[in-house]
Amino acid sequence: MTALEGVKVICVGQFYFAPYCTMLMARLGADVIKVEAPQGDPYRRLPTVDDDGYPIQFRFLNSGKRTIRLDLTKPDGADILRDLVRGADVLVQNLSPGAMERFGLGYDQLKDVNPRLIMATGTGFGSFGPYAGESAMDLTIQARSAIMSTTGFEDGAPVRTGPSMVDFMAGTHILAGVLAALYQRTHTGRGQHVEVALQDAVVPSLTSNIAGLLSKKTATFERTGNRHGGMSVTPYNAYPAMDGWVTVLCPTDKHWDRLRGVMNEPAADDPRFATMPGRCEHMDEVDAVVGDWTRTRSKDEIVAELKDLKIPCAPVVTLPELLEDPHIRARGVLRTVEDEQGSFMTLGSPLFLSDSPMVEPTRSGGLGEHTDQVLTEELGLSADDIAKLRDAGAI
């Protein structure tokens, strides 16, 4: 059986955060119903589409879910969600702060409908604190959380991380909270409210940077480029190769000694480089020595030599290279799925359980594609009932 077989999940969310959490739950076997407003998830309207004209981001995050179209601003629409909640185990939502409460669908209202419900809420800053209630997106959280101040090079402007790290880190955090609440419910029989703030989820990633600040007592370096966030490990950088770039790091003196041996560069024997503190004090000189060696070799040659010596290293892979990477294909985190309509690419799952198979993703539904099915199967509504709701604009 799958890990979450029999678990019913409602996703009232858009963009990446809640959809990613519930996508992982779908891959673990949960039955996920995605609730969309009448105009649909904004990611349905992005210009990045596949050959069939389907929005790629939406497909990646929502394949394997049933989709219903519901207007929660209308009383009948809110009532439908309450009725769905009666039979649900989990509701994950990341609407703007206070929206669910305005619809009469906050946790305090829904726990009376279903005391076993686990409701998970994701917001930028949580329900308390000076910034509570402020709206947020990945970019603004990166700005507010010092992620951008520590990304990029010292003499350049602040830079956001390339991927949307905030949304996806927060999505995995909220999944952890939901799974913990499901486990606790097996003992108590009660649900609870799970809250994750996007800012809270990313601050721990700054551990090395904060350590560097606390040890130096001043922010002498915030943007460290490709160097260690705390400037306390050297070499630790991206170095030029004949055909691109390669990353090399030596976390201990033993790693450095092995690198010195393979480089066979007299400059690497400088006694100032013998210890980690000495190397960190002379980062530019150390990087120059390593760079002079790497630029005479290809990425593959460098990686092959250093892997044999167990020195951490990796080629800097481009996006086109990533899509063809044999390890990525073998692991299935990016999956090309074949069905009666052809093939499409979507996300697999980074979660592997030895006794719980992953559920293969299916195509994400069209806007409101499963509305009639869900209302019939989950709530027992008749065709006439559904027609009346559609006439009222609730669905």
User: What is the 3-state composition of the chain as percent helix, strand, coil, each rounded to the nearest 5?
Assistant: 45, 15, 40
236-241 and 90-93 beta bridge pairing: unpaired
Are the C-beta atoms of residues 248 and 279 closer than 8 Å to each other? no
Q: How many CB atoms lie within 10 A of CB 325?
A: 13
Report the C-alpha gap between 174 and 177 in whole angstroms: 5
Q: How many CA atoms lie within 13 A of 48 on its CB side?
A: 7
The one-letter amino acid code at 351 reads: L
The one-letter amino acid code at 59 reads: R
Q: What's the N-to-C CA distance of the chain in angstroms?
A: 34
Structure tokens at 310: 């167990």
Q: Is the dihedral of CA 372, 377, 378, 379 positive or negative?
A: positive
DSSP H helices, the chain, are: 17-27, 56-62, 75-86, 99-102, 107-113, 138-144, 165-188, 198-202, 207-216, 253-263, 276-281, 283-294, 299-308, 319-323, 326-331, 371-379, 383-391
Are the C-beta atoms of residues 92 and 10 closer than 8 Å to each other? yes
Q: Which of 41, 167, 384, 391 is catalytic?
A: 167
Q: Is 257 helix (H, G, I), strand (E, B) or coil?
A: helix
Structure tokens at 249: 């790091």
193-197 and 244-249 beta bridge pairing: unpaired
Q: 319 Cβ partners below 8 Å, 6+ apart? A: none
Q: Can 391 be counted among the known catalytic residues?
A: no
Positions annotated as catalytic residues are 167
